[in-house]
Copies of this chain bind each other. A is one copy, B any other.
Amino acid sequence: MDSVKVGLLGFGTIGGGVADILINKADQIAAATGKRIELVKICDKDLTSDRGVAVPDGVLTDDLSQIMDNPEISIVVELIGGIEPARSFVLRALQSGKDIVTANKALIANCGPELFDKARELGRTIAFEASVCGGIPLLSSIQTSLQANTINSIKAIVNGTCNFILSKMEEDGSAYADVLKEAQKRGYAEADPTLDVNGSDSTQKLAILAQLAFGAKVDWKQISRVGVDVVDAVDVKFAKELGRRIRLLAIAERSSEGLVLQVCPTLIPETSALAKVTDAVNGAEVVGDFVDSVFYQGWGAGRRPTASAVCSDVIDTALGRTRITFDSLRLWSAERPGVDVMDAKKICGRAYLRMTIEDRVGVMAQVAAALAAHSISIESMLQPTKASSSDDCTSLIILTHEASSEALDAAVAELDSKSFVRGKTIRLAVRD
C-alpha cells in the first residue's frame, strides 16, 4: 500500500489531537481510504509535557530541520498559530517541496495571497479547513458541495468563546465580566481574551470566507467590527423582550453596491436557527441561489473537533483531492473571479442603540432630534425602569429603521458629545 509521510509543527492542544488520530487511527484510515498515512516527526520546543498521546520513540524533536530537510515527508501540518514564525516555517516547507495543512486563521487571513502565490509557484498545495469552524465542514462545503451555486450570503457564528459568553448571559442574566471569567475557568477563553471578545478572530475568519465564497480580497482590519465586549446584561434582557437573541454574527452578503462584510453582536429572531446555537458552538447559514438555505452547527474549536478537520485535510492532501481543489479554485490569485467589497461606511441596516442619558424632561426629544438630523428614523424607543430612583441617569434604548453606517456613526458621535449623554453609546446590529 502507498504510504505518505507527515511532519507536524506544534505539539499543543490541537497537535495532540492530530497525533492521536494519525498515530492511533493509522490502520483504520489505511483500511478506509487505501492510503497509509504516517506521522513520522513532530517538532516542538517542549519535549517533555504530556499531551495525552503516546508518541513512538524518535518522532518528537525540537530540531525543525528534521521535518524541513526530510525529503520523505511530503505533508507538513502547521499548528503553531499566529503569524510568525508560522509564516516563515510554511514558506520554508513549501520551498522544501511539501504540501501544507494548517488550522491557522490568522496566518491565512493575513498572508493568504503571499502563501497561495508561493504554493502555486512551487507546485504545492495548502489546505486550511480547520481555520474556520473546526467541527463544521464549512470550507469544503463552499469549495465543493455548493460549487454550482452563486453564494448570496453567509451568516455565521465563528467564535465559540463569544457564543458561550452571549448564551450564558442569556441563560442566567449574568454580567459580561462574570461570564468571561467562567469562560476562562472552563478553558473556553484564553488568559488574554482580547482577540476573541473584540471580534478580531471572527473578522479574520470572515475575511477567509469572503475569499472562498465570493472571491473577495479583503484586509480583515478594514472590515466593520464590533465585539461582544460592549454587550451588557441589559442588552441581552432587552433583546429577549423583543423576541430576539444576541449573537456575534460574521456576515458576508451580496448587495447591489458590493459585498457587505460585517462582524457585530446582532439581535436576531429567537426562532432563527442561529439564535438556537448556544454554548461554545459554531453555526453557519449559507444561502445559495439554487440550494437556498443550508444550515450547519458543530463545535468550532477544541482539540478533537479541530483535529478531525486537520486530519481530513491531511487525507485529502494525501489522496490528491486537495490538489484538484487548490488548482481549480486559484484562491487569492488574480485570475480568480470575485466581487468588490462595499465600503463599510455605506453598509445599511437596522441598529440597536443603548445610551445613558440624564433623566430629565426634554432629553428624549433632543436624542430624537439628533437622530432625525442624520435622517435616522426611529422604530421604537424604550426607557427601562431605573435600577434606583435616586439615580439621575437612565438607560435609553433605541431601535432604528434602516440607516447607513456613516449616518449612524455621525449621529452617535454627535449624541456622545452632548452633555446629557454619559459615556459612549453602544451600537449593535438588528437583522431578521
Asked whether any CB of chain B lies closer than 8 Å to the CB of A291, the reply is yes
Asked whether any CB of chain B lies closer than 8 Å to the CB of A321, the reply is yes
Asked whether any CB of chain B lies closer than 8 Å to the CB of A352, the reply is no
Q: How far is the CB of A53 from chain B (nearest CB, A)?
A: 12
Contact flags A284-300 to B (C-beta < 8 A → 1, else 0)? 00001111111111110
Asked whether any CB of chain B lies closer than 8 Å to the CB of A76, the reply is no
| A residues whose Cβ falls under 8 Å from a Cβ of B | 17, 21, 25, 28-29, 31-35, 129, 135-137, 140-141, 144-150, 273, 276, 288-299, 304-305, 307-309, 311-312, 314-316, 319-321, 324-325, 327-330, 336-337
- Is B145 a contact of A140 with CB atoms below 8 Å? yes
- Is A328 a contact of B324 with CB atoms below 8 Å? no
Distance between Cα atoms of A305 and B135 in the complex (Å): 24
- Is A144 a contact of B312 with CB atoms below 8 Å? yes
Q: Name the one of B33, B137, B276 contacting A294, with C-beta atoms under 8 angstroms.
A: B137
Q: What are the residues of chain B within 8 A of A29 when measuring CB–CB?
A: 147-148
Q: What are the residues of chain B within 8 A of A319 when measuring CB–CB?
A: 324, 328
- Is B148 a contact of A35 with CB atoms below 8 Å? no
- Is A150 a contact of B28 with CB atoms below 8 Å? yes
Q: What are the residues of chain B within 8 A of A140 when measuring CB–CB?
A: 140-141, 144-145
Closest to A295 in B: B297
Distance between Cα atoms of A379 and B340 in the complex (Å): 61
- Is A298 a contact of B292 with CB atoms below 8 Å? yes
Closest to A293 in B: B298
Q: How far is the CB of A289 from chain B (nearest CB, A)?
A: 8
- Is A290 a contact of B21 with CB atoms below 8 Å? yes
Q: How far is the CB of A269 from chain B (nearest CB, A)?
A: 13
Q: Name the one of B34, B137, B146, B147 contacting A146, with C-beta atoms under 8 angstroms.
A: B137
Distance between Cα atoms of A129 and B294 in the complex (Å): 15
Distance between Cα atoms of A304 and B296 in the complex (Å): 19
- Is A325 a contact of B330 with CB atoms below 8 Å? no
Q: What are the residues of chain B within 8 A of A298 when measuring CB–CB?
A: 291-295
- Is B308 a contact of A291 with CB atoms below 8 Å? yes
Q: What are the residues of chain B within 8 A of A321 when measuring CB–CB?
A: 144, 321, 324-325
- Is B273 a contact of A32 with CB atoms below 8 Å? no
Distance between Cα atoms of A336 and B34 in the complex (Å): 9
- Is B294 a contact of A297 with CB atoms below 8 Å? yes
- Is A308 a contact of B288 with CB atoms below 8 Å? yes
- Is B294 a contact of A32 with CB atoms below 8 Å? no
- Choose among A25, A290, A291, A319 the residue with the greatest number of B CB atoms under 10 Å from its CB: A290
The 8 closest A-B pairs by CB, nearest first: A137-B145, A148-B311, A290-B308, A294-B298, A291-B308, A295-B297, A290-B304, A33-B328
Distance between Cα atoms of A327 and B294 in the complex (Å): 29
Selected A-B contacts with CB under 8 Å, 18 pairs: A29-B147, A29-B148, A32-B328, A32-B336, A129-B145, A135-B294, A136-B294, A137-B141, A140-B141, A147-B315, A148-B308, A148-B312, A148-B314, A273-B276, A290-B308, A291-B298, A291-B309, A319-B324
